[in-house]
Every structure is written in structure tokens, then in C-alpha cells.
Structure 1
């Protein structure tokens, strides 16, 4: 009876080391899960609505209100987006090291709210409102309005960058990885997170344009401020239901200690039995099982006979030396060593994801350029803007992600026996393969467009946009789940920052690639593939080049995926092992 009662208590309590808002061990029935994550997804929906409402119209605002030329406006848009893709690494590091994800979300949402209110004030307050202009002649100075506008804009850019990794990792933290039922729900969480983000994006791109065109920029910015205030308030209301991870200092220091300790003991032989390595039980923290890869780093966990130095720590272990005073730069735990191996092993996967980011980056440039020279009439009197064509892809993602989670995953689960339907890397691989098809479709449609004597309908872009949506559902969500699940336990927010850096680096690489292709194709007096007149350009050749590069990258990814080993984790009371062969979690007694 006592044993049964103890197991029952264990089942009621969360076992992943998180705490509730009062610092106690959370109870499954009253914290976490969908009851908590819905508040978090609502905030993501509102934030994406605000962000894309601004970024999709920023270029026009800079040109029409601030009267900037095309190059200056494009530069400012790129800088705004660039800041929001670099800051996640900093925000994720600070959340994991010092503040915790929830506090960082509250801080970033507060900055976001101030930025939106300043944007609205810059248009609504008479003192800050831009002067009326006729052509290049304005009735007053734009100086004060421009200053307030850019202060607000970069507050939003920084806040968005800090917000993204912290909020998503906080949402995933609401599901206990050591519990089979909650682990399955976490897989669905990433799908519905993506659904919420896409829904917010779709509404931001479409509804915000309508509001600004009919009611003005000031009302549009005010509406965004109200939307964020509502979802931010809903996040705060959910405070008693959340599970919180306690920050444990810099997550990079223990990894640096592993390299230093391994180098210090590089001449020592490795023990034949891995159980001889230093593997202590640290209260409240899960341990990572030993693996045979990168064995040189195992030397950091060898217990040698060196006298302990000042600053040593006493810990209790499960190896032959039950109590050992260790210096952290001389002796590392097996968990430290394995987490360092894990971080090193995800770098190749990160590099293979860059090609996907390069392909997606073309949607914001060449796809819109294609649409601008096509027939965009829905009816003889109604013509949609070129930028609105991308809503076809966003709407497809909103529809398909729900179908994937509710229909495809259960069917695959029955067939494969995998609780995710397919493994994380298989999901990413399907997306990378899909990118080849949407690039090929883009090249074929562009060839048809150029060969047609009359402008063809924008509906010809539907195949490539729908295929791109399928690609994103698999790759985008798969990368989120991968970088959250495969980084060390104390690096979840930073892991999401690493994932988001894929798109920042890819944008830079895309620009470099276009410059290189432009230089090579224009040598010797030849015409570049990229011309101001799209009909004289050869971007269909460029898309075939991207498709060929994607094929090579897909083969590279398959080689990496076949050799990759998922992270094995020992829980506080159980052990969960993610096995590459079946992609599932196996539970065994510790």
C-alpha cells in the first residue's frame, strides 16, 4: 500500500524539475498542459499579428509618410528585420541564465506594448503627427515624428527578438517530458503553436492593411496596441497555471569546463567501464545517459587522484567514489559531457537547415516580384496587391497544420508505432525534400509567364505557394521541436534562439548568393540573370540552381540524420531514451 501510495504521489507531481508560481513542485492536475499553453499560444497569435502587420507595411510607410527613397526604405526594413533575428540569441541566453523564460516574456511584452503605443502616439498626437505633404513639399518638419517613430520601431524589433525564443520554450515547458501522455501532447503543441502564429500572420497582413487604408495609420497602430494588451493580460491571468523552470546561471560555462577538463586529462586512458566516470545525482536535475560518441570528451569525467583545489564542491555520486570534492574546471559530470556532445552534434543539422532558409527567403522578394507583373484581378474591378499573394501560402499553412495534427499524425502513429507519427528528423527531411518541388514549380511557372504574350493570372502561383506551405509545416515545425528537445535542459530558450538564427543567417547567405550569381552571369558583357525588367531576367534559371543546391543539401542532411543519435535523458525517477531507430521514447526504471 505504501509503495502504491508513493507511485500515486509521483504520478500527481511533475517530475521534470519545474516549479509552480509559489516555488513548489507542480501538480499535473492543476498546472501545465493545454490549460496553460493556450494562454501562451494566444500571446503568440497577438504578437505575430502585430509584427507582420507592421513589417508587411513598413516599406510603404517609409516611402509615403517619411518620403524615403527606395534604397533607403529597403535598407531600413532589412535592418528592422535583421535586429529581430539576431536578438533571439541574446534574449535566449539571458532567459536561460538569469531571468527565466516567463520573466523575459513579461519584460519583452512590456517593451513591445510601449513601442506600439509610441507608434500610435506618433500618428495621433498633434505634436508628433507628421506634417501634411504635397509631393516633396511639407508644411513642417518630419524630425520629431521620425525620431519617435524609429525609437518605437526598434523597441518593437528588440522586444520581438527577445520574445520569440522565450515564449516558445516557455510554452513547451508546460509539458513534462518524463510523462508519456504529456510527451505526446508536446508534439501537438508545436503544431498548434505554428497554427496560432500563422493565423496571427494572416490576420496581420490582411486586416491591418484594410484598417490603415480606410481609417489611417494612427488607428491601425492603436488597434495593434489594443490587441497586444489583451493577449498580454490573458498571459498574466494564467500565471497560477504555469510551470516554471528555474535559471541555473550561464549554460555555456559547464560546457567550457568540459573542454578544459578534457584537455587537462588528455593523456589519461579512458576506463573500459563507463560507470567508472563521474556521474553524481544532483537533486532536482535530470541526468543524461552516457554515449560512446566523441569519446575524447569523456576524459573530462575521469576521476583522477589530483588533490582538490580551492572552490571545489562536494557531491554524492553513484560511482565507486561516493563522495568527492571536485574542482569544476578539473572534473565534469557525465551529464555535462553528454550535453556538450549534444550541442556539438546539432551544429551540422543547423548548417543543413540553412539551405531551407535560403529557399524560403525568396518568397519575400522574387515571389512578390512575379506577382507584380501578373494579372491580379479577382473580378474586372477588383485587383489584389502583389504582397497579398503570399496570403495563399499562409492560409494553406493554417488549414494544413490542423489536418496534419488531427488526421495525418494519428494515421502515421498507427503505422509506425511512433508517438510523433514520424521522427523529428524524418519530418525535417520531408520538408527539405518538399522544398525541391516548390522551387521546381516556381521555375516552371516563371518560364510559362515569360513565354506568354499576355500577363497570366496570379493563380498560376498557387502550386508553388501551396507546396511552400507544405514545406514549412514539416521543416519549420520540425526545426522548432528539434532545437528545443535536443539542446541541454538549461538551454531551452537559447535553443530556440539558435533555431531562429537559421533564418537570419539564411537571409544574409541569400543576399550573398544573389550577388555572386549576378557577378558571374554578367561577366564578359553578358546579361545578368537579374534585371530591373523581370521579363528580361532569368530567375527561372536561378530557381533551378536553388533546386539543384537543395538536392545536394538533402543528400547531406540524410547522411547526417542517419548518423544522428537523439538525446538520452535520465529523469528524476525514470529514464527516457529517444532512439533513432524508432524515434520513440522508452521508459525504464532508474
Structure 2
């Protein structure tokens, strides 16, 4: 019983005291403690810093709270972002070009800020506290956003052609808008990483559950965004912009309450007295750079130890092995960096080629909210004799297809493939990402074929010179490319989330998820850059370029084929990188 009490409350015992205990007492104590010790989860504590039991903490009992928080956050975020361009061109009276530029800049910034939030969380504050602070900022920002819509305008009469917004209103709106971006930058990577922390990767059952967590996490994300797009957009356009921005603020209040409610069941990563992972990894690169003239024969004994203690190939990123020796090339002194530090650094470095090869995928996915919508705006969107489908509403089919396909993936595909591969997640994370990249390439080809038919129809009916004319071709022709885009997300997006979380050092899980999010942000910027280059390159001699204001005179289909080619090249690059990738744990995922 003494050992039991000391194990639970982490009381140190002197070695001589342990030696004084007889064999009978030790054997009996071990037998008593064995079930309890097996139920303890290593490396985690509860909210009071005490050891936690597997049966009463973490796993799905905690994940449900966290997934619910993400559903609410995505509802709030898409409640603002999905209709932002309408508010900018409407009440704020900005031109379409200016509004589109502002939306793209804000969206790209929002996708990159998680790197900042994740760094703050992993290096200083911790994920739990970062989520609480980000939620409070979120609530404040959304409340200010709603308040800014209630400020008086500068219009003197109903026929005012200029912006009806006062300068203070515009300033407050954009400050609030970027506060929203900053808040979600701290909220999004930390919530997902904290959710994955609730599963013990060393337990086979919880390892399988963690793979399912990433699936159902994205299920909830898409569900929240779909409801937010439909409900909040309708309220904003038909009732009140103030109410439309205020409701997300109220939703975030409930999200914070929900998160705090689950506190007693959460597992928290145990704090160590070691230097932070960022410091350790940075030191490896600094020491390797300082020792760049060191011969590999000097490093050889350490390299052999590195290969012995780790399943990694010591020749992979071999230059980092130079951090294993001191600056004077002495093998007798303590090494500047440990083998574990070098292995952590290599694990981070191995993800960079994967990151680069996925950028084309993010560029392709950016078209779903821009050119796909422009295509739909020119087509027959009528249902019956009175109702007309908004062109942007087809974006919701991406989320709907994700919701349906993730259910099928997790309940059918994973169990079937698991019996063949003996891998807990059915297929490896890299195989999953590659499958999605291939599907996105197919989606671009399909989009190009549909656009070619749309242009042919416009020509047949003599509508080429009428940009405002409705092409007698149903908008439902666009559904396949939207559904394929959703299918690619089920594989690539969820796969990237799991990979960038799983393969980062334990202290940098949030940074790993922020790296995945940065792929989408950089992809948006690359898409805008590519459009500008193509427009300037293909326009000349008085003729419209591929991307024209009059879509009927443009050749968006050629642009789609270009994207398909870029995506195919990226897929080949990805396959090459993935084949040489070595997981940072000796298990296939």
C-alpha cells in the first residue's frame, strides 16, 4: 500500500528504503499495483498535475467536447468569411476588385497566423490556456464586428453614390476582422492538437481511435461550416448584418463554456524541465553549421550510435550529424547535441519536401471559391419557375460530400483495408494524402471539360459577346467537380492533419498542425499570383486572355488544364518524396 500511495502521488523514495523492503513485500505490492499501474497513462497529467487513469480520462470522453468546440468555431468563422465580399461591396461600397483583394489578403493571413499561435502555445503558454485566451479574443472581435455595423453612416441622402460608411466604421470593421483572424490563428491549431493529445499513441485501441478522431474532427468542421454558410448568410442578407455578425459571437461564448466543462476529463502533456523543442532543434542546426568543416570520419562513431539507437537512416540529412560532436572535433568530451535532438531535427526537416509538394494541391483547391463560382454565375440556376440557386451555394456541396464520404471512409473503407494491410488506419497517412492529390488532378480535368462545353453552348446560342447573358446550361453540370474537390479533401486534408501532428516532436504538435494550415494559405497566395501571370501572358493584341471579365470570351478551360498539369507534376514529385520518407516511429501509419 505504501508503494501504491507513492506511485499515485509521485512521492520519491530513497534507494536505501527500497532495498530494505523484503522480497515478499515487493512481490505482494507489485501484484496489488499491477492493474492500477497498467491503467495509468504515461506522460500526461490531469488539470491539477496528478497522474491520470485511462478509464476516467481522455479518449472520446474528452474528444467530444473538443470536436463540439471546433464545430462552433467553424460556424462562427464561416459565418463571417463566406459572405464577407457581399458586405464589402454592399454596406462598405467597395469595388469588386478591391473587395476581392481584401478578402484574399485576409483569408491568406488567417491561414498563416496559426504558425504564430502554435509557436506561442508550444513554446510558452500551453495549448489549453492558448485556447481559452484565443476564445476570449474571438468573442471580443466578433462583438466589435457586429457593433461596427451599427455605427452611423456618412450618407446625407438615399441617393448617395459613395460609401455610406464613416471612416471610424471602416477602421473598426477591419481591426475587428483581423482580430478574428488572429484569434482563430491561436484557436485552430491548438484545439486540434489538444484533441489529438487525448489519445495515447502507445495503446493499440487508442491509436485506432486517434485515426478516427481526425476523420470525425473534419466531419464536425465541415458540418459547422455548412450550417454557418446557410444560416448566417441568410440572416445577414435578409435581416441584419449586426445580428449576422453577433450570432457567431454568441456561439463562441457557448463554445468556451463547452470547452471549460470538459476540463476535468482532459489529459495534459506533462511538463518537463528540458529545453523547449524549438530551442533544441535550433541548437542542432546552429551546431551543425558551426561544424560544417568537420570531417565525417570524426562524426562516424556518433553516426553509428545514431543508427543503432534509432530506426532512422543516419545518412538521411547527414549534415545534421555534425552537431553530435563538439566544435573542436573531440569525441572524448560531451557531445554538443544529443542523438535524440538530432533525430527530432531530422523529423521536422523530412516534412518540408511533403509540405512543398502539397502546395499545388492547395492552389487547385482555391479555385472552388473563385472561378468555379464565376462559372456558375453564367449558367441556368433556376429551380422551377421562381427560385434561383445562388452560384456560391454550390460550395456547400463540398462540405456535404465530405460529411458523407468521411462516414463511409471511417465505417467501411478503413475496416476493409485494415484486414488487408494490418495498419490501424487502413492505409498509411502518405498514401491517403497522395490519393487526394490524384483526385484533385482529376477534378481539374473534369472542370476543364465542363467549361469547354459551356463555351461551346454560348457559341451555339450566339451569347459570346454578352457577358451578362444566361447560358442555357444547368448549373448542376458543375456538381462533379465540386464533389471531386470534396472527395480530395477527405483524403488529403485529413491525411495532412494527421501526418503533421503525428510526425512532429511532442512539444511541437501545434506547430505541426499550423504548418499544414500554412499550406492552404500559401496555396491561396500562389493561386492569385498564377492568375495574374496567366492574365498578363495570354492577353494582347486587343484580345481577351484566358481569364477575362467576359467569361464567354476567355479560356478558363485552358487555365484548368494548366492547373491539372501542375497538379500532375506535383503528384509525381509527391510520390517520389513519399517513397523516400521514413516515419519517425518504427510503425507504418
**Superposition TM-score, scaled by structure 2 size:** 0.87
1:192 aligns with 2:216: yes
Structure 1 residues 547 and 136: CA distance shift in structure 2, 3 A:
same
Contact persistence 2:91–2:164 (CA under 8 A): no
Which residue pairs with 1:201 in the alignment?
225
Which residue pairs with 2:129 in the alignment?
103
1:211 aligns with 2:235: yes
Structure 1 residues 350 and 307: CA distance shift in structure 2, 3 A:
closer
1:57 aligns with 2:62: no
Q: Distance in 1 between matches of 2:362 and 2:418?
A: 29
Which residue pairs with 1:514 in the alignment?
531
1:230 aligns with 2:257: no
Cα deviation, 1:471-527, whole Å, max 9, x if unaligned, reads 010000001011111111211111111111101111111122122222222256553
1:392 aligns with 2:397: yes
Which residue pairs with 2:49 in the alignment?
23
Q: Distance in 2 between matches of 1:345 and 1:95?
A: 23
Contact persistence 1:109–1:232 (CA under 8 A): yes
Trace 1:551-570 onto structure 2 (pairs within 5 A). Answer: 551-568=568-585
Q: Distance in 1 between matches of 2:38 and 2:183?
A: 38
Q: Distance in 2 between matches of 1:360 and 1:202?
A: 17
Q: Distance in 1 between matches of 2:115 and 2:270?
A: 19
Name the stretch that deviates more: 40-49 or 246-255.
246-255
What is the aligned counterpart of 2:115 among 76, 84, 89?
A: 89
1:504 aligns with 2:521: yes
What is the aligned counterpart of 2:73 among 47, 54, 79?
A: 47
The Cα shift of 1:139 comes to 11
Cα deviation, 1:12-38, whole Å, max 9, x if unaligned, reads 1112x2221001222211211111111
Structure 1 residues 4 and 538: CA distance shift in structure 2, 3 A:
farther
What is the aligned counterpart of 1:301 among 304, 312, 324?
A: 324
Structure 1 residues 275 and 467: CA distance shift in structure 2, 3 A:
same
Which residue pairs with 1:136 in the alignment?
160
Structure 1 residues 212 and 237: CA distance shift in structure 2, 3 A:
same
Name the stretch that deviates more: 366-375 or 241-250.
241-250
1:11 aligns with 2:38: yes
Q: Distance in 1 between matches of 2:506 and 2:445?
A: 40
Name the stretch that deviates more: 129-138 or 140-149.
129-138
The Cα shift of 1:399 comes to 1.1
Structure 1 residues 352 and 135: CA distance shift in structure 2, 3 A:
farther
Structure 1 residues 275 and 6: CA distance shift in structure 2, 3 A:
farther
Contact persistence 1:274–1:290 (CA under 8 A): no
- RMSD value, Cα: 2.5
Q: What are the ranges of 5 or more consecutive residues in structure 1 without an aligned counterpart? A: 280-286, 309-320, 569-576, 585-590
Which residue pairs with 1:70 in the alignment?
96
Q: What are the ranges of 5 or more consecutive residues in structure 2 without an aligned counterpart? A: 1-26, 462-470
Q: Distance in 2 between matches of 1:210 and 1:556?
A: 43
Structure 1 residues 288 and 450: CA distance shift in structure 2, 3 A:
same
Name the stretch that deviates more: 450-459 or 183-192.
450-459
Q: Distance in 2 between matches of 1:26 and 1:259?
A: 36
Contact persistence 2:92–2:165 (CA under 8 A): no
Which residue pairs with 1:368 in the alignment?
373
Contact persistence 2:118–2:190 (CA under 8 A): yes
Name the stretch that deviates more: 64-73 or 156-165.
64-73
Cα deviation, 1:336-392, whole Å, max 9, x if unaligned, reads 100111111111000000010010011111000011001111221011211111111
Q: Distance in 1 between matches of 2:275 and 2:160?
A: 54
Contact persistence 2:307–2:313 (CA under 8 A): no
Which residue pairs with 1:437 in the alignment?
442
Q: Distance in 2 between matches of 1:550 and 1:140?
A: 44
Contact persistence 1:208–1:220 (CA under 8 A): yes
Contact persistence 1:290–1:334 (CA under 8 A): no
Q: Distance in 2 between matches of 1:474 and 1:220?
A: 33
Which residue pairs with 1:421 in the alignment?
426
Q: Report the secondary structure of 1:18's partner residue.
A: strand
Structure 1 residues 306 and 51: CA distance shift in structure 2, 3 A:
same
Please tell me whether Structure 1 or Structure 2 has the larger radius of gyration of its CA atoms: 2
Which residue pairs with 1:316 in the alignment?
none
Which residue pairs with 2:413 in the alignment?
408
Q: Distance in 1 between matches of 2:32 and 2:328?
A: 44
Q: Distance in 2 between matches of 1:140 and 1:396?
A: 40
1:156 aligns with 2:180: yes
Contact persistence 1:83–1:161 (CA under 8 A): no
Which residue pairs with 1:262 in the alignment?
288
Q: Distance in 2 between matches of 1:299 and 1:139?
A: 62
Structure 1 residues 215 and 13: CA distance shift in structure 2, 3 A:
same
Contact persistence 1:47–1:228 (CA under 8 A): yes
The Cα shift of 1:301 comes to 2.7
Contact persistence 1:88–1:497 (CA under 8 A): yes
Trace 1:306-321 onto structure 2 (pairs within 5 A). Answer: none
Trace 1:409-488 onto structure 2 (pairs within 5 A). Answer: 409-452=414-457, 453=461, 454-488=471-505
The Cα shift of 1:165 comes to 1.1
The Cα shift of 1:207 comes to 0.8
**Superposition TM-score, scaled by structure 1 size:** 0.87
Which residue pairs with 1:549 in the alignment?
566
The Cα shift of 1:151 comes to 2.3
Contact persistence 2:503–2:583 (CA under 8 A): yes
Contact persistence 1:97–1:249 (CA under 8 A): no
Q: Report the secondary structure of 1:455's partner residue.
A: strand
Q: Distance in 2 between matches of 1:135 and 1:504?
A: 40
Q: Distance in 1 between matches of 2:338 and 2:485?
A: 44
Contact persistence 2:445–2:564 (CA under 8 A): yes
Which residue pairs with 1:574 in the alignment?
none
Cα deviation, 1:533-553, whole Å, max 9, x if unaligned, reads 111110101111111121111
Structure 1 residues 278 and 471: CA distance shift in structure 2, 3 A:
closer
Q: Report the secondary structure of 1:418's partner residue.
A: coil
Which residue pairs with 2:468 in the alignment?
none
Which residue pairs with 2:191 in the alignment?
167
